[in-house]
Chain A
Amino acid sequence: MNSTLAKGHWSPATGHPMVPQPAVITHVQPEAHGVMTYTLGFRDPAVGEAYRFHPGQFNMLYLPGIGEAAISISSDPAEPAALRHTVRIAGNVTQAISRMEAGGVIGVRGPYGNSWPVDRAVGNDLIIVAGGIGLAPLRPVIYHVLRHRADYGKVTILNGARLPADLLYPQEYDDWRSHDIEVVVTVDRADETWKGRVGVVPILFYALRPDPKRTTVFTCGPEIMMHFVVYEALARRVPKDRIYLSLERNMKCAVAFCGRCQYGPTFLCKDGPVLSYDRIEPFFTVEEF
């Protein structure tokens, strides 16, 4: 009888794809009200050495007893050892993370998802459109462009936030501008300190005359904002397959088991979160899809 049990290979915990790696918070940078950037270093040097990510990918951040949340990586892909996440307080996990300080330990697994197609966009003009926390997953693209500036034509960043105090990374805009990047900033509602533009992000397109033959649009922000970004880009004849969006859905596993991040044919955790508009067009305007 075939009664011998396979022995010794059963280690579901260490072998489970959802086991996080401990990482130490080395720095906490307040960014805006309820938004902080955490710099992380893996506790296990071998894990840190091997870790690489592409712009637009995300990690699952875990706190024992609290849970896990999918958070985009907001740092420079050329410096994977200085792994940073910009976290906005939204749920119980991000709330608990916001109470942590440098020296605290957090679980990390990833990176997951696909990335902004920075290689496909080589030779193109780039329009990077961000709303609110949506700038966080786009910042790695900006860092990539800074390092490979000659690979791209005209680069424009259209960035907006609800209030001036909500703008992310304002201290970096001058550096970006010094690399021949146009940074246009707007807020939905101004306060007495604000001397810049007021209005929603998509209207910043009004001043643009992109060349449809050589323009790529990357956008991340509230879905309603992205609807109008797509509208404005299409109105300027940017091809559908050159308009890329980063979509958000709830993710519980990030390895396509939990089913929550489905967007039509795609699982955003593995086929996304970055999708070109031609792939999502049939669903993008369907209510409650």
Chain B
Amino acid sequence: MTEQTPLLGGQVVISKPALQQLFDALRTAGYSLIGPTVREDAIVYDEIAQLTDIPIGWADEQAPGTYRLRRRDDQAHFGFVVGPHSWKRYLSPPSLRLFATRRTGDGFSVETSNDPPPRYAFIGVRACDLVAIAVQDRVFVEGPVQEPHYKARRERAFVLAVNCTEPGGTCFCASMRTGPRCSSGFDLALTELDDAFLCEVGSALGAQMLSAVEWRPAGAFELSRARQAMADALTRMGRGLNTHNLPELLYDNLEHPHWANVAERCLSCANCTMVCPTCFCSDVQETSDLVGETAARVRVWDSCFNREFSYVFGGHLRPNTRARYRQWLTHKLASWTDQYGVLGCVGCGRCITWCPVGIDLTQELAAIRGEGQL
């Protein structure tokens, strides 16, 4: 069986240990594997080599302002959802040198980097994050100007996706229609069954990588079990959000008293924007050596919750948290659609989990809609 290449769009079954063969094939092909791994009591995305590097037998319990790892009763390989990291960390890094300049006798020259961009294989990308990557594609490569660093990383990336069968406590991808099933944007997508993975082939490159892996065609039993698991997952979302006319709701309520209510709790710490897989705002800083001979333009993640973000000559446009939270949520769920044709929220729930005071945008929006009780 291993000599054949599965069909594009086809479904095959691979044993759980055979996933290591896929890792090996990717590494042989020159990819750096980036996947989930346990560090500092959280599941983060980092460089991995072996199947044993991923959090086998771990689960994450998530709630507003709460994230805890616990041991599972089984050896599920992907029995957790998403942690504080998202893939933007690798596609649009937190700090990135865009280019450097060097003073010359009569001005300056621009220095070229000859380092090839990294070639990542993303292991375990969830449906919400696949959509988040597609959202950031609209920002960095599908607009009038293309960001070459993002584009190079993105084009070279291999995506091994994982369908979610156990949504987390702050998940609401069903409301946002982004998950829990991966529908596009992957090379291979796994569905974890009790004793094996069902693997959907999403690209020719994915099929090619599978040729080095032991697989067999999926049977009706496996397909139906995966289908059932997906259907069950849809009903077990930790959160829900009424998405009806969200842009109108927010544009019509820019002076809603609830913004002040949120501001009483919000610390303006920017955690939500750092963990958000679609938030893209940045600062561009000039770094130079002590004598000013060489300098570099460095892009760093920034946040609309930071005071400096809204600085113009004469002062800060949004000195108060009320205005900053309103800016964030109104951008995510209203102006994003004007700018990019899609909502800026994929329902991953990270901003709810990692908010130190547990602010839950699904509840804040319900309150603005007049549906929720806080």
Contact = CB atoms under 8 A, between A and B. Distances in A.
Nearest to B205: A2
A37 B350 CA distance: 49
B97 to A, nearest CB: 9
Nearest to B335: A265
A260 interface: yes
A10 to B, nearest CB: 6
A258 B281 contact: yes
Given A12-B152, A265-B338, A256 B143 contact: yes
Contacts of A16: 98-99, 148-149
A10 B117 contact: yes
A2 B29 contact: yes
A125 to B, nearest CB: 32
B304 A17 contact: no
Interface string A7-22: 1001111111111101
A65 B29 contact: no
B371 interface: no
Interface residues of B, number: 71
Contact of A258 (B117, B302, B317, B335): B302
Given A3-B30, A13-B99, A252 B282 contact: yes
A264 B285 CA distance: 25
A250 interface: yes
B194 interface: no
For A20, A253, A260, the residue with the greatest tally of chain B CB atoms inside 10 Å of its CB is A260
A31 interface: no
B110 A286 contact: no
Nearest to A4: B30
A266 B336 CA distance: 10
Contact of A65 (B143, B149, B295, B320): B295
Contacts of B29: 1-3
A260 B98 CA distance: 18
Interface in A15-54: 15-20, 22, 24, 43
A207 interface: no
A65 B148 contact: no
A287 B254 CA distance: 9
For B113, B116, B255, B297, the residue with the greatest tally of chain A CB atoms inside 10 Å of its CB is B297
Nearest to B148: A12
A2 B31 CA distance: 10
B31 to A, nearest CB: 9
A67 interface: yes
A106 B208 CA distance: 51
Interface string B136-161: 00011001111111001000100000
Nearest to A269: B145
Summarize B's interface: helix, strand, loop or mixed: mixed
Given A1-B29, A249-B317, A258 B205 contact: no
B220 interface: no
Nearest to A265: B338
Given A90-B313, A288-B320, A288-B323, A12 B282 contact: no
A288 B317 contact: yes
Contacts of A289: 254, 317, 323, 327
A287 B323 contact: yes
Contacts of A262: 327, 331, 335
A64 to B, nearest CB: 5
Contact of A288 (B288, B309, B322): B322
B280 A259 contact: yes
B295 A64 contact: yes
Interface string A263-281: 0111100100000000000
For A64, A107, A250, the residue with the greatest tally of chain B CB atoms inside 10 Å of its CB is A64
Nearest to A255: B145
A64 B113 CA distance: 17
Contacts of A270: 144
B282 A286 contact: no
23 contacts: A1-B29, A1-B212, A12-B98, A13-B99, A17-B145, A64-B108, A64-B288, A65-B103, A65-B295, A107-B101, A107-B108, A248-B313, A249-B312, A250-B309, A250-B312, A252-B283, A255-B145, A257-B147, A260-B281, A264-B251, A265-B338, A287-B323, A288-B322
Interface of B: 25, 28-30, 98-103, 106-108, 110-114, 116-117, 119, 139-140, 143-149, 152, 156, 205, 208-209, 212, 251, 254-255, 280-286, 288, 292, 295, 297, 299, 302, 304, 309-314, 317-320, 322-323, 327, 330-331, 335, 338-339
